[in-house]
Amino acid sequence: MSALNVLLVTYSFPPAGGVGVLRAGSFARYFPSEGLRVDVLTTRNASAVGTDPSLLSKIPPEVMVHRTITLDLPFAVKKGLKKLIVGRRSGSINASDTGSSRKPNLLKRLVQDILLPDPQVTWVPMLTRAATRIVKERNIDLVLITVPPFSSVLLVERLRKRYPTLPIVLDFRDEWLATTIDLVSFSRSDRAARIAHQIEATAVKDATAVVAVTDAARDEIRRRYPDESEHKFRVVPNGFDASMLGASEPITRPRSDDRVVVTYIGSVYGSTEPTTLVEALLALPSEVKSRLQIRFIGHIEEPRYRDSLLRLGDMVELNGFLPQRAALAAMKDSDYALLVSHDPLNVSAKFYDYVGAHKPILATIHSRGDVRAKLDELRAGWWADSRDVKGICRLFIDAVNRIDTLASEFRPELEKVAGYERGVLAHRYADLLREIAHWHNGVSPELPRVELAGGSCEL
C-alpha cells in the first residue's frame, strides 16, 4: 500500500500544553507507523494554558512541523483583557445561561464583532497561505483539519477553491453549534450565531468527510445537513495513552489521615462550571466533608469559578496547570477521578485518561448525554445529574462509604476500555483516511465499519 501524504492542521500542538493538543499530538505520533507521511501545520505562538515539552518528545523525527505566526494574544494577556472588557461578574452562576440576556459593553461588542467566529480567526490569513504552499510543495494527498478553534474551518473553503479534487477531512473535537457556541463561545450574539452557522455549513459542504468524537455529536451535525451523504459523517472517539498511564489499581489501604481524595484534571470553564457541585459538597454531613479532599488540576477560566470553589475551604485544593505526566500521576494517586460536564453531546478527553488508568469516576454530568452512556457502557464509575444537588450529595456520600470495598465494587469493562487506547484508534483512523482518499477519487463507494473492542464504531 503506497504511503498517504497527510497535512495535519491544528492550532495547538506541542510544546503547547493542555488537553486540546492531545488528539492532534496522537495523530502525529502514531500515523507514521501506520504508513502515513505526516506534515503538521500549526502556530508558533498558540494561546495555551501552559507548556509541556515532554509531549513534543513523543513526535517522531520524520514528522515535519511547519509553524506560522498568529496575531492571537498570549493566553495570560488575553485573559487580562477579557477582565477589563467584561468586568468581574457577580451573582449566581448558571451554565444554562448562555449570556444572551446580558448586553455586553460597547468595547466588548466591538471586539466580538471583529473576532468572529473566535479570536483565533487572526491566524486564518497566515494559515491559508502556508497550507496552500505546503499542499503543493509536499505533494499532499489529504488535509486533516482538527478544531476548535472553529475559525480553522474557514480553511476548507479556501483550499477547496484552490484544489478542487483534494480530499479534506474536518475533525470536530467538540460539536460546535448545538453546545459549544452557548457554553464557551467568545461571542454569543445573534450575529455571531448566524456567522457560525454560515461558516460551518460552507465547510461541511466543501469537506470530503466530517469526523466527530461521539455518536451524539456526529448525529447532531448530520441532522443539520440532510442533503449531504450519510457516508460523509463519521466517528472516531478520543482515547488515552497507555504508555503515560500504565496499570492503576484502586487504592484499597486506608490513608494515614483517613481522607478520600478525588481529583479533577483539566480546565474549569463554561461547560464544566462548578456551582452546583459546590452547593452539593457544602450540604454534605460534616463527617463526610471532613474526609473529602477535592483536588483541581488545571486552569480556572473565570474568577467567579475560583471563588465558588474556594467556598469549600479545607475540602478543596487548587493546583493550577501541570504538565500531563504530573497531572496523570496525581490522578492515579487518588481514590476517585472527578468528571464535571453540563454538555449533552461532547465527551471530555479527560474521561478516557480516567478510564485508561482504571480509576473509578465520580461524574456530575448531563443525565441524557453521551458521557453517561459511555460511563455506563464501560462501567467506569458512578454519576449524578449535574443540576441535582441532592443527587450529587448522595454520589459523594456513597463514594466515602464504599471506600473500604472499592476494589471489589469497581469492575470496569477492561476489554472495551482497551479499544480506546490512542495507538489502536490511530490505526483505525489511518485506515479511514486511506479509504477517504480512495473514496474521494471514485475508487471506493463506501467507508468501512471499524469494530472497537466490545462494540462497534462506524467510520
Tell me the average pLDDT across 229-242.
94
Same-domain pairing of 305 and 432:
no
Per mean pLDDT, which range of 107-111, 149-153, 295-299 is the poorest?
A: 107-111
pLDDT at 383 over 80: yes
Residue 89 is predicted with a pLDDT of: 44
Tell me the average pLDDT across 263-268.
94
Residue 245 is predicted with a pLDDT of: 75
Same-domain pairing of 147 and 168:
yes
**At 108, which CATH number?**
3.40.50.2000
Q: State how many domains the chain has.
A: 2
Query: Are residues 337 and 360 in contact, defined by beta-carbon separation less than 8 angstroms?
Result: yes
What is the average pLDDT score of the chain? Answer: 85
Q: Virtual CA dihedral for 120, 123, 128, 134, nearest 10 degrees? A: -110
pLDDT at 98 over 50: no
CB atoms closer than 10 angstroms to residue 291: 19
As separate numbers, helices (DSSP H) first and strands (DSSP E) second, the chain gives 20, 15
pLDDT digits (tens, 9 = 90+) for 21-36: 999 999 999 999 999 9
Same-domain pairing of 349 and 428:
no
Same-domain pairing of 216 and 325:
no
Q: Which residue has the higher pLDDT, 56 or 113?
A: 56
pLDDT at 454 over 50: no
How do beta strands 209-212 and 142-147 pair? unpaired
pLDDT at 446 over 50: no
User: Percent of the chain having pLDDT more than 90?
Assistant: 65
Q: Which residues of 1-25 are buried (b: 16+ CB within 10 A; e: fewer)?
A: eeebbbbbbbbbbbbbbbbbbbbbb
Element (H, E) at 66: strand 64-68
Tell me the average pLDDT across 409-423.
95
Same-domain pairing of 376 and 443:
no
pLDDT at 407 over 60: yes
Same-domain pairing of 232 and 349:
no
pLDDT at 251 over 70: no
Under the banding of pLDDT at 50, 70 and 90, the label for residue 17 is confident
Q: Which residue has cell 466527530?
A: 212
User: Which residues does 81 contact at the CB level (< 8 Å), separation at least 6?
Assistant: 73
Tell me the average pLDDT across 52-81.
79
Same-domain pairing of 105 and 231:
yes
Of 48-52, 177-181, 193-197, 440-444, give the range with the top mean pLDDT. Answer: 193-197
Same-domain pairing of 74 and 171:
yes
Tell me the average pLDDT across 108-132.
82
Q: 445 burial class (0-12, 13-18, 19+ CB within 10 angstroms)?
A: exposed
Q: Which residue has the higher pLDDT, 324 or 363?
A: 363
For residue 314, give its domain range. 243-417
pLDDT at 7 over 50: yes
pLDDT at 459 over 60: no
Contacts 24+ apart (CB under 8 A), 375-378: 375/351, 377/413, 377/416, 377/455, 378/412, 378/413, 378/416, 378/417
Same-domain pairing of 219 and 141:
yes
Got the DSSP string for 100-158?
TTSPPPHHHHHHHHHS-S-GGGGGHHHHHHHHHHHHHHTT-SEEEEEESSGGGGHHHHH
Same-domain pairing of 329 and 435:
no
Query: Are residues 319 and 296 in contact, defined by beta-carbon separation less than 8 angstroms?
Result: yes
User: Which residues does 161 contact at the CB level (< 8 Å), separation at least 6?
Assistant: none
* Distance of alpha carbon 207 from alpha carbon 220, whole angstroms: 17
Same-domain pairing of 372 and 270:
yes
How do beta strands 455-458 and 449-452 pair? antiparallel
Q: How many Å separate Cα 410 from the centre of its chain?
A: 26
Tell me the average pLDDT across 283-303.
95
Q: Which residue has the higher pLDDT, 343 or 2?
A: 343
pLDDT at 439 over 90: no
Per mean pLDDT, which range of 75-79, 90-94, 377-381 is the poorest?
A: 90-94
Q: Which residue has cell 468572529?
A: 116
Residue 457 is predicted with a pLDDT of: 34
Residue 346 is predicted with a pLDDT of: 87
Tell me the average pLDDT across 183-194.
69
Same-domain pairing of 98 and 35:
yes
